[in-house]
Amino acid sequence: MEMTIERVNDFDGYNWLPLLAKSSQEEFMFVEHMLRNRRQETFQENGEAMFVALSTTNQVLACGGYMKQSGQTKTGRIRHVYVLPEARSQGIGTALLEKIVSEAFLTYDRLVLYSEQADPFYQGLGFQPATGDKITHALDKSAFANSNR
């Protein structure tokens, strides 16, 4: 499936409704949370960004971003990664996460995330199981650089 990945500078510039509807049906409420709090969590500060994967007709196929992990200056947190069910297993999530990770590592030495459902996906991209407060996976910058991505 052809797509482009772009940084979100204005949440209101996209039609989020299909993504919101599908994520809610799957009970992934973090997408609704992200959109509801987009005025507070703008992903526009230093060390944070939100991205979307868009179809050739500008439909939002996937989203995800990163921001600083609270209380840890060298650790970033991957947030709000979601891919429409009909866009899964087509490389869209992988391309999106690779974009997020490569940009996040320009600022951070370690990335963490919380996901109860996508363990094989994240491990396939080099993340290792980890423990901590709302942390299930982690990836160190050196491990990412050594993976020859």
Q: Give the DSSP per-residue string, 75-91.
A: EEEEEEEEE-GGGTTTT
Task: Give the tens place of pLDDT for each residue, 90-107.
Answer: 999 999 999 999 999 999
In degrees and rounded to multiples of 5, residue 36 shows phi and psi of -65, -35
Most distant CA pair in the chain: distance in Å? 40
Q: Which CATH superfamily is domain 3-146 in?
A: Gcn5-related N-acetyltransferase (GNAT) (3.40.630.30)
pLDDT single digits (tens) 41-92:
889 899 999 999 999 999 999 999 999 998 888 999 999 999 999 999 999 9
Q: Which among 55, 80, 86 is positioned nearest to 66, based on CA atoms?
A: 80
Instruction: Report, as an integer, the average pLDDT of 20-38.
Output: 93
142 phi/psi in degrees, rounded to 5: -65, -40
- Ramachandran angles phi, psi of 24, nearest 5°: -65, -40
